[in-house]
Amino acid sequence: MNTQSNTLLPHLFRSEYAKMTAVLCRHFGLQHMEIAEDIVSETFLKATEVWGINGTPENPVAWLYTVAKNRAKDYLKRQHLFDTRIKSALTTPEGYTETEVDFGPKTITDSQLAMIFAVCNPANSREAQICLALQILCGFSVEEIANAFLSKTETIKKRLLRARAVLREDNFQIRELHAAAISSRLEVVLKTLYLLFNEGYFSKTNNHLIRKDLCSEAIRLTLLLTENPLTNTRAANALLALMCFQSSRLDARAGLEGETILFEQQDKNLWSKELIEKGNYYLVNACSGNELSKYHLEAGIAYWHTTPTDTRKWEHILQLYNQLIVMTYSPATALNRTFAFAKVYGAEAGIKEALALQLTDSDDYYALLGYLFTGIDPEKAIGYYGQAITLTKSAAQKKTLEKEIARLREKKNGAI
């Protein structure tokens, strides 16, 4: 394969695979999802062969869609599927039979949006929904998903097999998305996209590329929601604002060795001003009414994190955390609130708040105590950091904690 094709095809696979699969699933029905995926995979395999010999075509995307359309026609003719297996799936209630696969822009967008709602099936577990979203909506391989979850490939394969079986048996129609389907699943969709983003942003893997890919795919899918009048809700805008604010700091959160860089130590010049501005835009859209969701509160917290010049920033953040913890409690929220509390009322007050939580099975709990004890009792801080290291599964987190311990010991030795 020539060099241009070698670099272009993986990019096109990531950007177009999910679109092509969604349209073909719209055409065949979810029960024949594997047929759709096979056709798309064969299309990319054909591109590998032909482009390697003849070079990259003038319009590679159009080439891929033409081949996929022709392969869909050939498959139906060759296997006689139209008459024997999927005629009923192709026939709408009005009796219209669609035999031509339409890869027009509107069909692609509508099909992708409908596939998001199909994949976010509440009958599947939270983890299974995320895995399906990564594979079907984002074009991730099983190996990439396993790396993102720090799981074995076989574990992910089994999870996907079970989730796909549920998906095939579902009667969810992706030909056209109706208000009833949206209202029944929108909350699940938002939660799945939120968790998908968090898998990237708070990832335990030190593969920075995978982390950024997860975040960017979550943003892309949430953006689809805001671009359709039926799904352009204030909660969807708040979620997108949150993702933009958080993503703006991605490049500043990881060091050269993959270690996590704490917020106060980040190079703010690396923050993306473009993403911060987009976050501001979607946050304004989200706040145009009286609705208040957890996504509004978290987006507000993320907004204040990207506003470093306000002297009362941590007071605003603490107030939002106070509201969030009442609305939806989680250990992570409690720890983050305690960090903000210490910023407002001091480390000693923060330590009392932290110890009261008793989250002794959490590495983040001990990491927070280590941080709070740093200026009060460095020896205790080192001990807490050590406990965090024994609990964390993240190689990046271990590097960060080890650097903090080394820094405290160096400071302690210098003071002797």
In this predicted model, what pLDDT tens digit does every residue of 46-79 receive, in sequence order?
Answer: 999 999 888 999 999 999 999 999 998 888 776 6
Domain co-membership, 324 together with 273? no
Same-domain status, 295 and 351: no
| Mean per-residue pLDDT, 177-185 | 82
Does residue 415 carry a pLDDT above 50? yes
pLDDT confidence of residue 244: 97
* Residues 284, 223 share a domain: no
User: How many domains, in total, are found in the chain?
Assistant: 4
For residue 295, pLDDT beyond 90? yes
Structure-model confidence comparison of residues 213 and 84, the more confident one: 213
Tell me how far apart the alpha carbons of residues 25 and 115 are, in angstroms, rounded to a whole number: 8
- Number of Cβ within 10 Å of residue 156's Cβ equals 24
**Backbone phi and psi for residue 130, each to the nearest 5 degrees, phi listed first:** -65, -45
Report how far residue 245's alpha carbon sits from residue 248's, in angstroms, rounded to the nearest whole number: 5
- Pairwise CA distance, residues 243 & 225, whole Å: 14
* DSSP designation for 270: G
67-70: long-range pairs with CB below 8 Å, 24+: 67/43, 68/20, 68/24, 68/39, 68/40, 68/43, 68/101, 68/103, 69/100, 69/101, 69/103
Report the distance separating Cα 32 and Cα 25, nearest Å: 7
Rounded mean pLDDT, 243-260: 85
Q: Are residues 201 and 218 in the same domain?
A: yes
Joined tokens for residue 33: 């999802």
Q: Which of 264, 282, 303 is the last residue of a domain?
A: 303
pLDDT digits (tens, 9 = 90+) for 23-37: 998 888 888 889 999
Picking from 232, 257, 287, the residue at the C-terminal end of a domain is 232
Pair (324, 260) in one structural domain? no
Q: Are residues 403 and 373 in the same domain?
A: yes
- Phi then psi for residue 91, to 5 deg, are -100, 120
Q: Which residues contact 274 (CB under 8 A, 6 or more apart)?
A: 248
Q: Which of 18-32, 74-88, 137-151, 340-354 has the lowest mean pLDDT?
A: 74-88
Which residues does residue 260 pair with via DSSP β-bridges, in sequence order? 254
pLDDT (tens digit per residue) in 139-176: 888 988 887 777 899 999 999 999 999 888 876 766 67
What is the torsional sign of CA 412, 336, 191, 11?
negative
Question: Minimal CA–CA distance to 273: which of 252, 297, 299?
Answer: 252
What's the rounded Cα separation, in Å, for the pair 13 and 319?
A: 44
Check pLDDT > 60 for residue 178: yes
pLDDT confidence of residue 102: 80
Same domain (yes/no): 228, 244:
no
Residues 299 and 245: beta-carbon distance below 8 Å: yes
Q: What average pLDDT does the segment 326-351 reach?
A: 96
- Measured from the Cβ of residue 65, the count of other Cβ atoms closer than 10 Å reads 20
Give me the chain's average pLDDT, please.
Answer: 87
Question: What residues form DSSP beta bridges with 91?
Answer: 97
Which residues, 6+ apart, have CB-to-CB distance to 351 below 8 Å?
342, 369, 372, 373, 376
Say what the pTM is: 0.84
| Tokens 């074995």 found at | 152
The enclosing H or E element of 181 equals: helix 179-201
Residues 255 and 162 in one domain: no
Q: Which residues of 108-129 are buried (b: 16+ CB within 10 A; e: fewer)?
A: bbbbbbbbbbbbbbeebeebbb
Question: Does one domain contain both 382 and 271?
Answer: no
Instruction: Determine contact, residues 170/120, Cβ cutoff 8 Å.
Output: no
Q: Which residue has the tokens 């987009």?
A: 278
- pLDDT at residue 96 in the model: 36
Task: Tell which of 232, 252, 279 closes a domain.
Answer: 232
Give yes or no: residues 72 and 27 share one domain: yes
Query: 355: domain CATH number?
Result: 1.25.40.10
Provide the 3-class DSSP secondary structure of residue 97: strand
Examine the domain organization and report whether 324 and 358 are in the same domain: yes
Is a pLDDT exceeding 70 seen at residue 89?
no
345 and 397 housed in the same domain: yes
Whole-angstrom Cα distance, residue 365 to residue 385?
10
Q: What range does the domain containing 217 cover?
A: 111-232
